[in-house]
């Protein structure tokens, strides 16, 4: 009888704790509730989902609610998958991290001779920002989803082929480069003989059971449970789901959900996907960034206690924050232009750190 009472009391205490946790997260995410662009939130510790919730709408026009299975465009959170693809090819001896990028992309100009794959992974290549030299309308302008003029990774290469300058000598400085990760996607294709989206599917998403995650292209599989992006303009939410750069894959083209990202997060603790050596490379603070408190690895921002990355593109703001020593991760995916969810993720993490 005493044992049964202790079990019952323990279960009651756990339910109370779960309710307090949920209320704390709900308070942080309250602006995403209702008939507004939404969010999906995951808190996982020691492989257990402590928070697994969604708020608001994935599609305002159809009044479709966001769920934990909703797939958002990850924007620059994609870069960790691009980096993982490069590391897998290095494990396969299909490329070397210190290969000059012109070995794989020989149409680039001679001014890029000294840039290596490692430089691109750490944003130390000095490539000119393709967003600043692309033709067309204002950067970030919303465009129809089927716009034929959207840039692809190969178009970024063609833009960079015409440049005869770099920002700095490779390896001498840091400058965040979407174009560098676009070039990495092309290197994945040339080293593997597969399309970038196929390589990610075959070597990362399918092995990890991330069955609804994909690098989205118009002529490929559709995004199921898709969230559409929005921007608040004069107090009204307007769909701003695509821009001229939305079809560039290597720097930001992956769609995923918190359900699938939970599998990705867990795989980063062991060698089920990447070897111990590859994960050490990814999580090494190779360079200082423009934030004195943050270093950069291979597709990851690194602080003293966290591995994290945000993703910002028109209509979407996302973040993943991992605390490896505590085996704690917070992921927030949103389908609105503002605000950035990084401060909210830190506030959620602080709540669970106090427990």
Catalytic residue check, 76: yes
Rounded CA gap, 99 and 170, in Å? 13
Active-site hit among 40, 62, 76, 275: 76
Rounded CA gap, 349 and 342, in Å? 11
Orientation of helix 79-91 relative to helix 178-192, angle to 10°: 30
Chain position carrying tokens 């396969």: 92
Cβ–Cβ under 8 Å, residues 23 and 351 = no
> How deeply is 35 buried, as exposed, middle or buried, from its count of CB atoms within 10 A (0-12, 13-18, 19+)?
exposed
Looking at the chain, how many residues does it have? 355
The residue among 131, 118, 130 whose CA lies nearest residue 170 is 118
The set of catalytic residues is: 76
């Amino acid at each position: 009888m005493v044992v049964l009472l202790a079990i019952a009391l323990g279960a009651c205490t756990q339910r109370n704790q779960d309710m307090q946790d949920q209320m704390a997260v709900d308070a942080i995410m309250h602006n995403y509730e209702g008939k507004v662009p939404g969010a999906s939130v995951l808190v996982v510790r020691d492989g257990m989902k402590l928070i697994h919730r969604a708020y608001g709408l994935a599609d305002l026009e159809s009044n479709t609610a966001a769920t934990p299975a909703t797939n958002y465009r990850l924007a620059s959170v994609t870069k960790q998958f691009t980096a993982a693809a490069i590391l897998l090819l290095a494990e396969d001896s299909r490329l070397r991290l210190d290969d000059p990028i012109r070995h794989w992309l020989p149409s680039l100009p001679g001014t890029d001779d000294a840039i290596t794959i490692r430089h691109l992974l750490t944003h130390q290549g000095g490539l000119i920002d393709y967003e600043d030299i692309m033709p067309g309308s204002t950067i970030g302008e919303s465009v129809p989803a089927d716009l034929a003029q959207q840039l692809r990774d190969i178009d970024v290469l063609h833009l960079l082929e015409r440049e005869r300058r770099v920002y700095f000598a490779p390896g001498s400085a840091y400058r965040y480069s979407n174009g560098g990760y676009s070039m990495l996607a092309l290197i994945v294709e040339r080293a593997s003989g597969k399309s970038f989206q196929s390589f990610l599917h075959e070597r990362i998403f399918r092995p990890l059971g991330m069955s609804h995650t994909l690098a989205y292209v118009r002529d490929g599989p559709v995004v199921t449970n898709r969230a559409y992006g929005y921007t608040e303009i004069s107090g009204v939410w307007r769909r701003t789901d695509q821009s001229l750069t939305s079809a560039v894959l290597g720097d930001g083209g992956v769609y995923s959900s918190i359900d699938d990202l939970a599998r990705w997060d867990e795989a980063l603790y062991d060698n089920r996907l990447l070897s111990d050596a590859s994960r050490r490379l990814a999580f090494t603070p190779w360079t200082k960034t423009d934030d004195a408190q943050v270093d950069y690895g291979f597709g990851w921002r690194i602080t003293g206690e966290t591995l994290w990355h945000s993703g910002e593109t028109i209509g979407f703001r996302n973040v993943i924050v991992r605390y490896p020593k505590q085996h704690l991760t917070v992921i927030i995916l949103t389908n609105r232009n503002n605000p950035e969810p990084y401060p909210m993720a830190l506030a959620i993490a602080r709540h669970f750190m106090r427990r």
